Amino acid sequence: MNSSTAPSGLLGDTAARDYTRKLRLFNAFAAPELRQAIASLALKPGMRVLDAGCGTGEALGWLAAEVAPGGAVVGMDLATSHVRAARGMASEDTALVLQANLLEAPLLPASFDLAWSVNVINHLRSPSAGIDALGLLLRPGGRVALGQSSLLPDMYFAWDSRLERLVNEAVRRYYRDRYQLDERDLTAVRAIVGLLRKAGLPDVHARTFMIERIAPLRPEDEDYLVEAIFRDTWGSRLQPYLTKNDYEELMRLCDPLHPDFALRRPDFHFLQSFTLVVGATAQTT
């Protein structure tokens, strides 16, 4: 089976899927914390790094800078549009970008010091199969670093926890209906520590970074929150899951032209967690 005929993942990923814009917005928004997470790995010049599910490729340059001189970075993604964007983002000197399913990676076993993979295993029908596949690509003593956003619930409306709770529940119900998934399917990925231990990695560590923003926001923060969250994650698709009053209030808070727009409130305070779980393989096989 090649990447274009691979079955769609848990959240509908295929070679033809394209959410380039959302990935670019997220990486511009979370760049400071993602770079901090990469720095926490203490990579060394000369190391070989794989970014599995590299999306639009922003991390490729950040990883390459940590392993220079003499290092190598390979990006791999299932989606044609994401691979095209990643190739545009990283010059050939920075990283090689492959279109492939990470479950059937066309790469030599035991050839990487680090497999970095952010917000990807929650897209797989079997996160364990993904971790096993990445583990095979690591040299003895190599590490797999799995990043996952929002293991803690995000805070959007510091002044209205009720509306936030209802919106989060509406998003869950939307995903349940769209992908026929129940809450357990969507939250199974919280157990990353357990999944890495189950995969036989002897040395597992976890660290959570907080993405924290208050008004006034940087343009990157505003673009991400308005487009990727307020419009595309919430927006009209949540209307069936909220009462008329709650939906209308949400729309006022999300509308940049409305006086109640959340991001211009002096009490705007946003929190999102980013958790990095790192498992090291044994030094010798």
Ligand X SMILES: C[S@@+](CC[C@H](N)C(=O)[O-])C[C@H]1O[C@@H](n2cnc3c(N)ncnc32)[C@H](O)[C@@H]1O
Interface residues with ligand X (CB under 6 A)? Answer: 9, 13, 23, 26-27, 53-55, 76-79, 82, 101-103, 118-120, 123-124
> Which residue, 27 or 94, is less far from ligand X as judged by CB?
27
Pinpoint the alpha helices (H) of 91-141: 127-136
CB of 28 to ligand X, least distance (A): 10
The minimum distance between CB 82 and ligand X, in angstroms, equals: 4
Q: Which residue is nearest to ligand X (CB)?
A: 55
**Selection from 1, 283, 279 nearest residue 135 by Cα:** 279
20 vs 58: CA distance, rounded Å: 11
Residue with smaller CB distance to ligand X, 6 or 158:
6
Q: Which is nearer to ligand X, 23 or 278 (CB)?
A: 23
Shortest approach of ligand X to residue 43 CB, angstroms? 17
* Helices within 137-269 (DSSP H only): 161-179, 183-187, 192-198, 219-223, 244-254
Closer residue to ligand X (CB): 118 or 262: 118
CB nearer to ligand X: pick between 9 and 71: 9
* Residue 30 CB, nearest approach to ligand X (Å): 8
Return the number of the residue (227 or 255) whose C-beta is nearest ligand X. 227
Question: Dihedral (C-alpha) 149, 155, 157, 160: value to the nearest 10 degrees?
Answer: 140
Q: How far is the CB of 194 from ligand X (least distance, A)?
A: 21
**CA 202, CA 279: separation in Å to the nearest integer?**
7
Q: 279, 196 in Cβ contact below 8 A?
A: yes
Give the nearer residue to ligand X in terms of CB position, either 122 or 157: 122
Pairwise CA distance, residues 138 & 89, whole Å:
25
Task: Give the pair of three-digit tokens for residue 188.
Answer: 């199974």
Q: How far is the CB of 215 from ligand X (least distance, A)?
A: 25
**What is d(CA 8, CA 5) in angstroms, rounded to the nearest whole number?**
9
String of b and e for 249-272 (b: at least 16 CB within 10 Å)?
bbbebbeeeeeebbbeeeebebbb
CB of 105 to ligand X, least distance (A): 8
DSSP H or E run through 277: strand 269-280
